[in-house]
Every structure is written in structure tokens, then in C-alpha cells.
Structure 1
């Protein structure tokens, strides 16, 4: 199966032709799935949505479109928006997945050492970055963030001592590393050339702050366990949907109408999927999609992620933008907020010398941005939201044991992690 590469089309019309040429094979693959066979296959514009509920109802292999012997991996989502959903991939699927992740404008090369700091368990994220890095010949440091073997103190040691050049993590994790490095006395990470981030909505102000802290570009991507990477940034900071590898539509929240662009809920039809074809999969993320020329010349639609949920116009991204717009000197890296009716309480970690200025500046910004809310900004000392013990804790790893000495905790004989 030959996969399209950036440069194979030269305008949006060429991109649409590529999609239309591929769709018959997508529909044929879906006919091999018990779920779609039962539902019935029609042309994509007549096809109903496939929902997360459909995936859960089809657990575990109701959407399988190939022989079980051809599967390479099985995965489940984190379940952050409800019960987990199952996904599975063949080796051919994995080539498409890895190539999409590897589409970083900074490049991934054999000379790179890449620290992967997302889960390797049932979710796809750690495996995806690992495969993409190896596809490009890079050395992988598998620092799973669900493992007690790699606490933050160990992560910053690895970043420093191994000369890590690339990282893959949640955006917030990079701030925790920076805090742990500061506590541990690490000052310099000269090898680091880019931080790849995803898995949570991130404001422009927060990305810019992370980039200044680490002295390296922050490259965002967007995807899901059910689909793999769906979008990535170009060097001009625009987030582009990989529309040569999937058809994207936007569902109007008021009418339910599906359109190629606009604001609404994202709907995805992967174009190269053997094990588990998905037709018009409703991913349940609110986005804004636009077809416009970009200086990068990729001729791919742009997407802006709006996040999920809305509290009367008050969003996490909107709050985050204001928090990270505070001057760098204030040292505000960590925050949390609680909405209670018309009031919003925002707690920020801030050193004593900047407390008054930070509270006044953020309170004024909140009043201006969200006039229907009454803000209360509460300063807490460093360590108040992110305890120092979290940043300095050593690895706590045990193996199964049967024989203990007097005074040892033998209640943990079969507890290992």
C-alpha cells in the first residue's frame, strides 16, 4: 500500500482528488467489518456517524475487518470521556500511524535521542512516538509517565545526562520537568532542540512560555487512540489536519449538518486503515477548520482546537491564556480554577515577592476577559500546588519476593510495580 506524501498534491483541489480516489477502497474495507456489514455501506455523504457508543457496543472485535492473525497490536483509550474504546492495528496500519506522527517540521533523525514520556500501556500514545522515532532511526528513551520507575527526578537526569534532543509529552509535563530540574540544580540542557507535545489543549501563551523556559520550539500535535495522529504544526505555527490520510468534516452543533470546514464537532474517516475502518467517526472534539493558504505550502486545512465543555463562555484555554500571559518574572507555572455559579476562584503558585503584582494583574485580566464572572485570585507559595516531594521523589520499584529479614515489610511480598 503506497501512502501519499506531502508534495504529492499542489493545491486543495488536488488534495480532494486524492481523497476521492482512495474512498472506494475505504468503503470496501468497511464491508469486511461486522459492524458496517450489519449497518450497510453507502457512499460517504449518505453514511451515518460512527460514535464512541458504537465502538463500546462493538467491544472487543465488532469492528474488525481483517483476520485476527494479521493484527499487530490491540489498544484501549484512556476513558477520559467515558468508558474506554478498543482499537487495533495491522503492521501496514502502523506504517501510516508512524509516518503521520513523524511529520514534524523540526524533523526526527538518526542523530536524535527522543525521550517518550507518555503511557506505553493500552493507550497508543507512547507506542506511536516510539515507532515514529525508530522509523526515522532515532534512539528512544522509554520514560513512561505511568511507571513509578521514572519519577520526575529521574526524567531530568536522563534529559541532562543522555543529551536528549527531542521529547514527547503532555505540555504540562514539561513544566514539571523544569521545576524538578530547578530543585535538583540542573541549569543547562544544550542538546534539547524541540519538545513535541499533545494530549491536552494548550494555549499559545503556555506554549510560548514553555519554549522560553527550555530554549527550544514547542511542536504541538493532535490525535486519539482510535485514529492516531490527526494534525501537526508547520514551522509557521499553524496546526494542519493530515487530510491526505483522512477525510475531515465538521458537524454543526445546531443543525447536525456536516461540512468540510467551519466550527463544530470533528468527524474523521481514516483513508488507510486495514484492521478497523472507521466511517465518519465522531471524535467529540470541538474544533474550527479552515481551508486557507499557508506559507508552509503544504496545502492542508488548518484546525484550531477549542476543547470540550464551556462554563458560560469561561474555558480552560481562555483562563490558561491569561495565566501564562503574566510576566515571566512572576514565575507562575502552575494554576487551577474552580467555577461556582458566577464566581471563579483561581489559585496560582507564585513567589512571595511577586504575589501582590501577580494577583492584581490576573484579577484585572479576568475582569476584562470574562465580565460576567467575579474572579478571586488566590496566591499560594511554590510547592502549594505541586509539592516538592513530587519533584524530588526517588524511583520506588519492587520485584516479587518471598524471603524477608526481620524488620522488613513482608506484607509487600507480592506487591510489585
Structure 2
């Protein structure tokens, strides 16, 4: 626990940051819908945020080298706070698209700042343990954050003020920490080919997390709003998404601890295999096992699918040469963002063509392929040797700021 206490201020900052990120991810699509914006344009605004995140991830090593971890985090939080408050002041879709690009860049800077700092501060012996605590705290924030919007309109200025408050408070722990900042990294971003050469399993796993998880989470509300649970509609969708995140919350810390003991790729293979099997069962038997059965399987899917990203990144850091942690982190965030752009598009197409069978079938097949790939990599390449304690530590990835839910077009049919 000593290793965790040493970086507690950084973890607390990200936990508060995720409260704001979760609020923003919900406010943006619902606010645009309330303004009468077409669903396709709402999706475009979400894509612009992901594109901004990619740009921020790619340029963050240079920014980090220029100003340092604390100042980069502070600048990102300031820009994000100004952006979310501006959404309440200027309610025009083109302006919102621009603001979301800037917020994407800012969030990438903040995550790279904190996570590269963690990578230098925590010894390798406790990588999985600290990663589990980090992700557990972040997931709790993602679950709790939306409750601050209860009873408020998506265009109510108080909704945006709440997000701005959390972004401002996220500055406090990081700016007041006595933890020594790491030395400036190399300013150049790491080429993707070099990143893949360092840890191919990590790169494939991170892309898969963006591709499968983002797409599935974005479309879960459309699937579950037809359920009778809690009266159906958005209430049923919210419960289903909460169950998925709670599944991930329960398994996150034990999975991290286990990955400190055995090959991390085997842990990823187990998690993706379980999640893939749950998704296939929903695709094949979802129509006959009843709502309770589907909800149980959603919880199992979340327990596997929403946990393996962090272990993939920890595996990459196991193989990262000293001094290159920020470049590896920014590169992995970049490829995650690429997958998160493609995921909702592909999942949307397969769901439009085959309904729930297409959505969960695609997720199940992709997760199954990830499990097989991890096992193959274990046979092809031995685990990395742990460096001496304190030499270098983990980069602990965020679940990322939010998943934007594109509201369903009411003209497509009546809610059941």
C-alpha cells in the first residue's frame, strides 16, 4: 500500500477528472439533440472529440517535454473547464464541434501527464495492484458522475457548471503533490512501427478495446431501451450500462493483482475469452433467456471486456526501455482513439443489418480472436523480466474520459 499512497494525489486527480468527463460525454449528445441537431451531426461531433484526442495523444510527448507534468495537466484542465462552460454560453452545433476537438486534445494531455508520471513513480513489483486501484477509482467516477445531472435539462447551465467545478477541483491534488516530477521525455512521438515492435500484444489489445468496447457501449442503450426493466426506455438502458460497469469494477483489482503473478497476456486472454463467450451467448440466446438472463450476461461481459485495457498497457510498459514511457503511453492512447472512432461505426452497421445478433456477434468474435492472439503471443515470446524495484513502473491507462451516447432518433419507432 506504500506504493499506492505515494501516488494517491495523482489517482485522486484522475478520479475527479473522470466525474467531469462522464458528465461531458452525456451532456454533449443530449444537449445537441435538445437543440434539434440531426443524429448524424451528433455523431460527427463525437467523432471530432475522438479526433482531438488522437491529435493530443500524438503531440503530447513534445508538450510534456516543453512544460512538464504539472503545468501540462493544469493547462489541459483549464482549457477543458473553459470549454465545458462555453457549451452553456454558445449553443451552436459548429461551435460545440470545435470545443469538443479542443477538449479531446486537452484530455489526452492530462491523461498522458498523469499516467507517464505514474509510470516513473511506481515500482514494477506493484504494477497490477496499483493499476487495479486506479481503474476502480476511475470506474466509480464514471458510474457516479451522471447522478449529478438528475432532474436537470441537458441545456440547464447548472449541468455544465457541475462539470466545470470538477475540472477545477481536479487541479488541486496534482498541483499540491510533493511527489517529484519525472525528467522531461524525448519530444518526438514514437513511430507506430516501433511501438508495435516493443509490445505487439499490447498494441493489438488496446486497439481491440477501443474497437469493441466503445462500439458496444455506445449502442447498448438502443438495445436495452426496449426492455420492460424499470419501465423501459432510458431507465432500462441506464441500468444495463451500470451493470456492465459494475462487472468491470468488481473484477478490475483482482485481475490486476493476478497479472503481477502470471503472464499478463494470459490474464488478457482469460478476460477477453470470458467476455467474448458472454457476447456470443447474448447474440444466440438473447431472445429466449429473458431480460434477467441478458442482464447477467451483460455483467459478465463487462467483467471481462472493461478490464483488459489497463493490463495490456502494463504489459507494454514491462517491455519499455527506460525514458520512453511517455512516448509509449501517448502512442497507445493514439491507437486506442483510432479504434474508438471505428468501433461505433462498425457496430452501428452490423446492428442495423442484423440487430442484437450483429452487435453482440461482432463483439464476441473480435474478443475471441483477441484471446487466441494473446495465447499465440505467449507461445512466441517469453514474458518480460521485471526490472529492479523502483527502476521504472507502470503506465496506468484511463478508461478514458467518456463514451458518448448518441440518442435514438424518435422517428425510427415507438419505445416499447
TM-score norm. by structure 2 comes to 0.24
Quick check: which has more Rg, 1 or 2? 1
Task: Name the structure where helix makes up a greater proportion of residues.
Answer: 2
Greater RCO (CA < 8 Å, at least 6 residues apart): 2
